Copies of this chain bind each other. A is one copy, B any other.
């Protein structure tokens, strides 16, 4: 046990409006298997993606503060909407390093050599913020963003392999590829979307289109591991790392749906009241 060196244990905080960020935590745990982790899903106030900048910033900052109060040494904002609309506010509110998913997502898209530009699928709020377009244009890549408000409800309904979901994806992609016909890379700008990546591939194939598909989960985990190596070089892996999960709404539902996103069971989920 490391009780004699409490400063050498690293605690990674990860936050999302719901379950989707667990796909990011999954990748983080692969790269930092010895780190303690603490995850918060703000499920009582989800979805963030249909709401305003002010409301999203208020919810995101209070969620981030909770994880800092619980002892997080760094924070991963594993929510595209919160990153796109409130990254600066979160950073200003916390005295610890903060990583978002937008810049790593843009990096991942650049890695796919998108000569024809990148098509970003995201929530309405993320698209409205223009954060992905700015991040991609900053690295010299043309970007087109498409709001897909129904994809999160369809994933949450469990219709990840369903003709209705395929039909909705087809409508969104039809509209998007009319506006950005040269796009060669598709960036999944919401942590829910990796669960319907097979459906997206199927629909693209049916349309006779071939696009590289990237998401930000793996890239965000790599950025997190890099930051840990730089800022916490003395951090020693825990022998029995703690995995703590908090949710602001029903823990039973979170435990049940969360396992699908994390890829392993969630032993225990604790309820937390962040007001509201």
Closest 8 CB pairs of A and B: A276-B276, A52-B250, A153-B153, A275-B275, A44-B55, A55-B249, A51-B249, A275-B276
Q: State how many copies of this chain the complex holds.
A: 2
Encode A31-66 as 1/0 by CB contact (under 8 A) with B.
Answer: 000000000000111000011101100110010000
The interface residues of chain B lying within 8 Å CB-to-CB of A50 are 156
- A: residues with CB less than 8 A from B are 43-45, 50-52, 54-55, 58-59, 62, 149-150, 153-154, 156-157, 159, 163-164, 167-168, 171, 248-250, 253, 273-276
Q: Given contacts A52-B253, A149-B157, A253-B52, is CB(A45)–CB(B276) below 8 Å? A: yes
Q: How far is the CB of A174 from chain B (nearest CB, A)?
A: 13
Residue of B whose beta carbon sits closest to that of A171? B164
Complex A-B: 14 CB contacts under 8 Å: A44-B45, A52-B250, A54-B250, A55-B249, A59-B276, A62-B276, A149-B153, A149-B157, A150-B150, A150-B154, A153-B153, A163-B167, A164-B168, A164-B171
